[in-house]
Amino acid sequence: MTLSEYLYENFYRKNFTKTWSKLRGGVLLAFLNILLFLFIMPIGGVYPAMADWGIWLYRLAGINIQPPWGTLELPHLSIISVLNFGLILGFFSAALFTRQFKIRKDTISGYAQGFIGGALMGIGSFLVGACIIGGFYSAIMSLSLSGFYMMAGLLIGGYYGGKVLMWQGRKKAEKLIAELRIVPKSSIGVEKEYKSRQPMAGIILTIILLAAASIYFLAGKNLLGGIILFGAAFGIVIQRSAFCLCGAFREVFTTKKNETMRSLMISLAIGVVGFTIIKANGFRPANMFVLPAGLHSVIGGAIFGFGMVITGG
C-alpha cells in the first residue's frame, strides 16, 4: 500500500466521507475552546470582527469612523479577525474535501428573509455585546450570568422563529400538492457521474492556510500563527459535524428532535469544568469573559434567536 492509498483509506475516508455525529462535534468544540482559553481567550464569535471589517470598509470609502472600543487594528493583525479568517478557511476547506461546496440560489423572498434575519442578529448582538458564540456559548462556560440570560432569550426567539418556519413549511407543502403533476418517464434522466475537483481545491486552500500560519510564525507573531490554526480547527469541526447552535434552538420547537441540543448541553458541561479548572488554578482571571448581565441580554438573545432561525443558521 502506497502512502497516498494509506492516507486515503485511514484519514480521508474516515473523516471526510461521512458526517461526524453531533456529540463528537460538541465534545471536540468544547475541548478546542478550553485549549484556546488556556492559550489566550475563548472563542468570541464573528460580531467584533464584522464590526471591525465594517469600519475598515467605511474608511476605504472615505468615511472616518472611530471604533467605540479603542484602537482599530489592521485585520491581519487583529486577534479576533485572524481567528475568524482561520475559521472561514477551515470551514471552506472541509466543505471542499467532502465535495459539499455549492452555490445555491433562492427566491427574492428568501433573500429578503435572510437579510431581515441577519439584521435582527446584528441588533441582538449589539444589545448583548456579543453574538451567540461569545455571548452564550463561551459566556456559559465562564459561568457568566449573561450567558444564561441570553439562553433564555434564544429559547424565546427560537420558539417564535420556529413557528414562522412551520407556517412557511405548511404553505409550501400546500403549494406543492396543488401543483403536483405526473412526470413523464421520458423526462427522467440519469445524472452523469463526474469526478469532482473540489478535494484538490481543498488541498490548495489548506496549503494557503498553513502558509499563512507559517508567515506569522516566521515574522515572530506566534500568537497570530496559533490563532489562525485554532480558527481553522473550529471551522473543520463545525463543518464536519454540522454542529449548529441555531439548529439546537430550532429543532426542539420544529422537528421535536433534541440530538443537537443534548450535544450542546454536554459540550457546555465539559467547557464549564475546563474553564473552572483553568480559573481556579490562576491561569486566567476569575472574571475573564464574564459579561454584563441584564434585561438587555434576554431581549438581545430573543431578537438574535428569532433572526438566526428565520435565516436558517
CA–CA separation, 21 vs 288, rounded Å?
31
Q: pLDDT tens-digit profile of 274-306?
A: 999 999 999 999 999 898 899 999 999 999 999
Tell me, what's the pLDDT at 190? 47
Strand ranges (E), 62-191: none
Tell me, what's the pLDDT at 189? 47
pTM of the model: 0.85
**Among 24, 309, 300, 311, which Cα is nearest to 161's?**
309
pLDDT, mean of residues 85-96: 92
Q: What are the grid coordinates assigned to 195, written together?
A: 469526478
pLDDT, mean of residues 248-271: 89
First to last CA, the chain: 42
Tell me, what's the pLDDT at 307? 93
Q: pLDDT tens-digit profile of 106-164?
A: 888 888 999 999 999 989 988 998 888 889 999 999 999 999 999 999 999 999 998 99
Q: pLDDT tens-digit profile of 170-224?
A: 888 877 787 765 555 554 444 444 467 888 888 999 999 999 999 999 999 999 9
In this structure, are residues 297 and 148 in contact, taking their beta carbons and an 8 Å threshold? no
pLDDT, mean of residues 96-101: 86
